[in-house]
Amino acid sequence: MRFLCLHGRGTSAEVWQGLIKSKYGGESSQTDKKHTQRYSRCKQVRRARPTQQNCRTVQCSSFLLLLQVGIERQGFFTTNHSAALQQGFARSLWNTTLYSSTAASPWNHVTVGRVARDGLSYTKFGSHNLRTHFRQVQRQPTKTSSAACMDISPSLPT
Amino acid sequence: MSQYQDLISGLIETVQSLGPFDGVMGFSEGGIVAATLLLEDARRPFADFKCGILFSAAPPVDPDDLGTGVVRCLDPAKDGVSIHVPTAHIYSHENDATGHGSRAGVDIFNVQSPLNRLWSEAGWGTAEQVHNSLAKLCSESQVFVHAHGHQVPGPRDHDALRGALRAINRTIESAEG
């Protein structure tokens, strides 16, 4: 199974706020403003692309690991790395590649970094064109590391 | 409205250009958008999604009504079953992001969401009602309720993780036929 994955809040806060304002008019609440500021420009996406074999293996132990395996192969894409890191997903994704952008065209120019072990920060490597980068990744898939999986898998129910 | 339509059209383009995808999954508002994609795929097929995994999600805004200027959430009482692929619904009745200091049935307006007014219009006053309404919109729902608030169950609570995995596995197995 191959999934398109959408992370929370930042995915569409701006969109929803625009919707509500279009219906009700007026200013949004202070809370909404904070959300919009905090998660502005987020529309997308992180995507997991496990192989069938990986998927099968991981399904037995942890869905989160399924995500992890997929993400380690393809990277973790978000238009707002701060939101993604704060949401806790990334805490199990340390040492994975993080694609991040705050540009108006999120699919084009992105920064690429690596999630720190604390899951709360990342090290920026540089900027890439995402489409080009994904094509490169697909041609030369990175070897899946088991290190992060081992972090939690032994004690999980099967 | 144009922002919303831009979002949906952008995601459809993404799915078509980077797909195929077997399923879609999402958390919170990402779950709402994921449900919107499943709904769109049911009405105007573009991806042939086989299943959906939805964490702490809520019913989507009706894209057809939106085209006529009406903003409302899909409501199982009015719209019936609208998503026809297997789905997993993993959520908590607690609103608190930590799962602490809150309780089942707590007022949904403690949730900081710009969709509160739409939920209120639909008559949903609790997190349980919001999440459960989405499950009722789906023809084949696997529901797992945990006690960790607005989060995805993780390795700190094996029971919750096991329950979530069970719902996900059943959904995937059902999708694989």
Model pLDDT for residues B37-87, shown as the tens digit of each residue = 899 999 999 999 999 989 888 999 888 887 787 888 899 999 999 999 999
Query: CA nearest B154 in A: which residue?
Result: A64
Q: Where are the alpha helices (DSSP H) in B82-176?
A: 116-122, 127-136, 158-176
Mean pLDDT of A6-27: 35
Model pLDDT for residues B123-174, shown as the tens digit of each residue = 998 888 999 999 999 999 999 999 877 766 755 677 877 787 788 878 888 9
Residue B134's closest CA among B19, B71, B52, B14?
Answer: B52
Structure tokens at A86: 């704060």
Contact B14 A23 (CB under 8 A): no
Number of CB pairs < 8 Å for A and B?
Answer: 146
Residue B36's closest CA among A11, A32, A10?
Answer: A11
Residue A113's closest CA among A131, A134, A128, A92?
Answer: A128
Structure tokens at B150: 């607005």
Say yes or no: B132 contacts chain A, CB-CB below 8 A.
Answer: no
Mean pLDDT of B1-22: 68
Query: Which residue from A14, A45, A157 is facing B158, i.e. has the nearest CB?
Result: A157
Query: Which residue from A22, A43, A47 is facing B7, i.e. has the nearest CB?
Result: A43
**Mutation target vs A (from B1, B7, B85; most A CBs, 10 A cutoff):** B7
Distance from CA of B98 to the nearest CA of A (A): 11
Beta sheet of A97-100, edge-to-edge order: A76-78, A97-100, A109-115, A122-129
Q: According to the model, what pLDDT value does residue B143 have? A: 96
Query: Which residue from A1, A35, A155 is facing B22, i.e. has the nearest CB?
Result: A1
Q: Which residue has the higher pLDDT, B66 or A84?
A: B66
